[in-house]
Amino acid sequence: MNTPDSASTLPRRSFLKSAALATGAAAVATTPRFLSAAERARSIGANSRIRIAQIGCGSRGRTAHMDGILKHVEKTNFDIVAVCDPWSKAREEANAMVQKFLKHDVKMCGSYREVLAMKDVDAVMVASPDFHHTTHLEAAAKAGKHIYIEKPLATEMDKLVRAYDAAKAAQAAGSIIQVGTQLRSLPGIVGAREVVKSGILGKISRVDETRNSTPPYWYSYLKRDVQAKDVDWKEFLGDRKDRPFDARQYAAWYGYLEFCQGPVPQWGAHFLDLMHYVTDCGFPLECMCMGGSTYWNDENKFTVPDNVIATWMYPEGMMVTSSNNFANSAGNTRKFFGEKGTLAVDNWNAPTYSADGGPKRDGKIRGKVEVTPIDRPDHFLNWLQCMRTGETPHASIDAGYQHAIAVLMAVISYDTGKKTKYDPKQRKILTA
């Protein structure tokens, strides 16, 4: 058991909050320095540079993760020391980004195992393909790293439970884990949560999202020039069935159910997490999901649905729907329907609300009202700050687990054609 006098026995990368508070601004060195192995094992202090590795260097890893964090490099104290991807071209491009912004090369790894074996890596950002998320989360948690993990959190229930348990154990030992559902960090969404909490809309009975586009987003990845000689194909496949190298499957893995389960987990995870956050609801009780590949049937033989709708029932009496159509881009909307009015989040950054449709509207809402935004640090800055303070980040591992349950209920319903129910005691998704 740790005591205030036994800092040297604290778990790896745990935090000394009292020390950070006591030193305050005076502790910030004018010239950042790297931690020694012994120092790093005790804490990340206010004057110590956090060493970060990027796992998954595709478009999400570079344009979201690395772009997202590098804009904070002047105001925070971190370095990117390694990048990892089975495709050599992707990790070379990630290394080039670090060269441009941080003026040095990084270690380039083909496997996440190499990264997690590096003792000088404090934190990892994971933007690997969906079916790898639980593998990389569980391994990083067991390695005692701080973690930024992309959504959807999981593609299989048993792996979700294992990864979640490992993450909770790592969190208890001091790891900071941020799930990549970044809408929680938008000022407009934080303001929308306050509107719902105020009760001005009354009881929320239904929440709907229709998010359409054309063509499906996975087609844009076909243009990637992937050569077998540049890819560790077995590393990419992981626990999936072995097969000869397929450049199309690697380049556009978003379009194949074996690697990605389609727009409900991909886009719906953002909507579900937003809805969970704004309404502060519990886990869904049951779900039905229908859809299919109804329009985009060509030589690519994509298998994820291009037309799909999922419906959940929540214990608060809310019905929630997520719908995607990739054969027609019209009809996009995102609304919370209350008994006294309606909250429209059609624009993430500028939600509005009105008395429209409310059977118990009471005159307190006049016209269309713009939600008052509430400033907070963006998602990456929040993660960086929490590594210093030890606070829980905006999208905790518990929030990630909640959206993953909802997503998997829909995926299993789509696969089986049956209604699904979540049993929180057994931590199982059952079919009716």
Domain limits of the chain? 7-183, 184-376+397-431
List the structure tokens of 209: 């999202």
What Å distances lie between residue 125 and 51, 217, 418, CA to CA? Answer: 11, 23, 36
For 310-361, how does the pLDDT look when each residue is reduced to its tens digit (9 = 90+)? 999 999 999 999 999 999 999 999 999 999 999 999 999 999 999 999 999 9
For 107-147, how does the pLDDT look when each residue is reduced to its tens digit (9 = 90+)? 999 999 999 999 999 999 999 999 999 999 999 999 999 99
Q: Helix 397-416 crosses helix 157-172 at what angle (to 10 degrees)?
A: 180
408, pLDDT greater than 60: yes
d(CA 246, CA 409): 30
d(CA 33, CA 272): 41
For 185-240, how does the pLDDT look when each residue is reduced to its tens digit (9 = 90+)? 999 999 999 999 999 999 999 999 999 999 999 999 999 999 999 999 999 999 99
Strands 78-84 and 107-109: parallel
Task: Confirm or reject CATH 3.30.360.10 for domain 184-376+397-431, answering yes or no.
Answer: yes
List the structure tokens of 288: 């039905």
For 281-305, how does the pLDDT look when each residue is reduced to its tens digit (9 = 90+)? 999 999 999 999 999 999 999 999 9
What pLDDT shows up at residue 48?
87
Instruction: Tell me the percentage of the chain whose pLDDT exceeds 70.
Output: 89
What number of other Cβ atoms are within 10 A of residue 143's Cβ?
22
d(CA 402, CA 408): 10
CATH no., domain 7-183:
3.40.50.720
Coil, strand or helix: which one is 341?
Answer: coil
pLDDT tier at 270, thresholds 50, 70, 90: very high
The pTM (predicted TM-score) of the whole model is 0.89
Is 137 in contact with 153 (CB distance < 8 Å)?
yes
H or E element at residue 190: helix 187-198
